[in-house]
Amino acid sequence: MLCAAFAMIACTSSPSGQKAESAPEKPAPPKQIDAQTGRIAFQRMYTTSRGWSGDTEPVSLQSNNYKNAGGNPDAPLGHDGKSAMWRGIYASASRHSMKTYMWSGLTGPDAPSPGITPGTEDSWSAGNTSTQPFQLVYLKFDTDQALETAQKHGGTALMKKTPDIPVNYRLGWESRSSMLVWHVIYGKSTNEPDLDVVVDATTNQFVRVEK
């Protein structure tokens, strides 16, 4: 028994003066992209805008899907109703100004800084219908829900034809119809999209197809 024990110690001990080799450190896993739906990003920027001016009201929200910045790697470029980059504009009547904020969930050398970055402050007039603010009570449905509606009105067919087509989202107030709407925008260009489906942000009902 004693001989066996000494034999085991001799086998497991390191030679005198030598340190046991440690296992090589594993590289840290890359940070995941933090993609969010429009309503979540909107609320984060709205809270920050209140630090600039206590009377801010939202004017618009726009996603910018950057490469494959979807929350799900199998749902690229906004196909899950999310984006890792959002740009919001908020107006202050007391300051007669509006200010841009950018929210980013991206990491990497070419990506914007993660978190919320304040932008420039510009003059603003309440009489300008193109930058009319809206009340928070009208925003009841999020981008993932608006996408479900848009899919029923041309989106599904377009994705089958072009599986990697980007999808972006824009939120704004329509003065002519007194309605807050989501634009679900399919295509590489948001100015000249392949399809733009307008969805009521209060009821999630289909409004129209713009292209």
Kindly state whether residue 102 falls inside one of the protein's structural domains.
yes
Q: What confidence tens digit (pLDDT) does each residue in 136-170 have?
A: 999 999 999 999 999 999 999 999 999 989 999 99
2 assigned to some structural domain: no
The answer to whether residue 86 sits within a structural domain is yes
Q: Report yes or no on 1 lying in a domain.
A: no
Number of domains within the chain: 1
Mean pLDDT (the chain) is 84
- In percent, the amount of the chain with pLDDT more than 90 equals 65
Using CA atoms, how far apart are residues 83 and 74, in angstroms rounded to an integer? Answer: 14
pTM of the model: 0.81
Residue 95, phi then psi, degrees to nearest 5: -95, -5
pLDDT at 195 over 60: yes
Q: Residue 35 in contact with residue 84, Cβ under 8 Å?
A: yes
Task: Give the residue from 108, 110, 112, 123 showing the smallest Cα distance to 86.
Answer: 112
Beta bridge partners of 60: 89, 172
Instruction: Identify the domain containing residue 93 by its residue range.
Output: 36-209
Locate 52 and state its tokens. Answer: 């600039």
Exposure string of 8-37, with b = 16+ CB inside 10 Å and e = fewer, is: eeeeeeeeeeeeeeeeeeeeeeeeebbbbb
Q: Which of 103-117, 175-189, 192-206 has the lowest mean pLDDT?
A: 103-117
In a domain, 10, yes or no: no
